[in-house]
Structure 1
Amino acid sequence: MKGLLDILLCLKCYSTDEIEIGDWFKRFWKIFQKVILEAMSYNRNTYTKLMEYIVLTRKDGEESYPSSKKKRNKEFEKMRKEGEKLLDIVVRSIRYRNKSDYRKIGIISVIKVICEHYILSEDNEFILDDQKEENLLENKELLTYRYIIEDDELDIRFAKFEEWLEEIESITIKKKGYSTMRYFKKILHLEENIAEEENREEVKKFQKSITYQWWDGNNYPKPWINDDVTDKIIEKIVETKGFVEEYSDVGELESSDDMGESSSNEGNKYIEKIYRN
């Protein structure tokens, strides 16, 4: 049985045919295909980059974290960006029969949910929680919206919202209410449908859940019930797609045959081309 270090060395040194596909990946693929029905096959990039992602994000109780909150946030942001790049490669390396019901952001959510439950055994082997398959298939947020907004991601988006509200609209938030983040997640999941009149009340609930410290009384009196503030929030969420960069649709991945059949070097060139474009 190969240890973690041996596996990582193999990923860098051996070609596709020489990599021994571990049981951890076979279990991952079995669960993944039960959710993403259109997933047809994988290649070397799928296996290696998924392993790198698990190693990158694996939580170890013996890890030491910077005492400074600023440094912790900086390290977390760096790890998050590295993880996003790895998952982008994983998703694009998979061949799909046709367009999936899940967009790219949804497929990434499925991968994250599976991977976060891997643990490292005493023999340096990755083991997947036996309940993971059941939990994933019954995840209410994933089933309803076809993707998951994780807590860390939600905090990042709220920080962007708060910054926009203060710098552009001159409204300062004092504190969040008990239900603020729950309402915020709900209106983010509405996406462009937030502009429909029937969803306006959801924005109002979010607006009222916040305690405000300062506001421009001339432009936005009583911001917790101000209709103009409601309009601005709706417009900004539509404009910024929920305060996050737009995720491309899985339809772009249907023509990944070349990548699926390529060698490691060819696959890396393909990835570099994607990033350049």
Structure 2
Amino acid sequence: MEWYAHWKIDYENHKLRHDENIGNVHIDELIGESISCEICYLIKDTPEVFRKFWKILQKFEYTIKDYNAETIRALLNLLSIDSEERNNYTKGRTRDALDVMVESIRYLKQPVLREKGLKIIIIVIMMDCIENDKEDETMDRLIGNKELIRYGYILENWNVNIRFGEFYEWYKEAITDFIECKD
């Protein structure tokens, strides 16, 4: 996981700046360097919905250590996005919020799940466990899932439908272009 190696270096360098510059640098100057910093993004209040989400997420990825205010903010942003837009996790506000969430989490070591898998699991937890209150069904379906274990991510039906829809739009355009060229 290339993303984890970059994350770890950025986080450790940022922590060194905090340690070396105690008293010399104001926290405001360090904010933005590493969104996983627990000092720069101090938790003031943890909503109950986040506690539930965090408890479930830790069951899927045991390498997750801790979170900060940015992780909470990213989850609340995801919850504010309508489900249609949120289903396509590779675009727009959903992608941005998921990127912040994955980068703001602190890890014990390199996660078992790939970055893509972590993002899909976050969306599934939000949709099935938080919004639809199907925690038990979701846990039974996903814990021990062979696809998740083998590849580090899963493809949910909604994800396949989005991908097929994008392919179909491309296909209609490609066939039209091909027929025009043939004529």
Give 1 or 2 for the bigger CA radius of gyration: 1
Retained in 1: the 8 A contact 2:43–2:68?
no
Shift of 1:22: 2.9
Identity %: 25
Shift of 1:119: 2.6
* 1:118-172 superposed Cα distances (whole Å, 9 cap, x missing partner): 238xxxxxx563433222214454334322331343124413652675377x37x
The answer as to 2:138 corresponding to 1:132 is yes
* 1:35-54 superposed Cα distances (whole Å, 9 cap, x missing partner): 21211111111111112202
Partner of 1:145: 151
The CA distance in 2 between the partners of 1:75 and 1:135, in whole Å, is 21
Please point out which of 69, 82, 102 is paired with 1:57. Answer: 82
Please point out which of 37, 49, 68 is paired with 1:24. Answer: 49
Question: Which structure has the highest helix share of the two?
Answer: 2
Retained in 2: the 8 A contact 1:24–1:128?
no
In the TM superposition, 1:66-215 aligns within 5 A as 80-117=91-128, 118-119=130-131, 129-149=135-155, 150-159=159-168, 162=171, 165-166=174-175, 170=178
Gapped runs of 5+ residues in structure 2? 1-40
Shift of 1:26: 2.0
Question: Which structure has the highest strand share of the two?
Answer: 1
* 1:71-97 superposed Cα distances (whole Å, 9 cap, x missing partner): xx99987x9521111111111100112
The CA distance in 1 between the partners of 2:146 and 2:181, in whole Å, is 37
The CA distance in 2 between the partners of 1:114 and 1:156, in whole Å, is 23
Shift of 1:105: 0.8
Gapped runs of 5+ residues in structure 1? 1-14, 59-72, 121-126, 172-213, 217-277
* 1:220-265 superposed Cα distances (whole Å, 9 cap, x missing partner): xxxxxxxxxxxxxxxxxxxxxxxxxxxxxxxxxxxxxxxxxxxxxx
Q: Which runs of 4+ in 1 moved over 4 A?
A: 73-77
Which residue identity does 1:162 align to in structure 2? Y
Partner of 1:245: none
Which residue identity does 1:88 align to in structure 2? D
After superposition, the Cα gap between the structure-2 partners of 1:109 and 1:167, relative to the gap in structure 1 and judged at 3 Å, is: same
Aligned to 2:131, the other structure's residue is in SS state strand
After superposition, the Cα gap between the structure-2 partners of 1:74 and 1:39, relative to the gap in structure 1 and judged at 3 Å, is: closer
After superposition, the Cα gap between the structure-2 partners of 1:82 and 1:152, relative to the gap in structure 1 and judged at 3 Å, is: farther
Retained in 1: the 8 A contact 2:65–2:105?
yes
Alignment RMSD: 3.7
The CA distance in 1 between the partners of 2:85 and 2:47, in whole Å, is 33
Partner of 2:70: 45
Retained in 2: the 8 A contact 1:39–1:97?
yes
Report the count of equivalent residues.
138
Partner of 1:274: none
Shift of 1:56: 1.2
TM-score (norm 2): 0.59
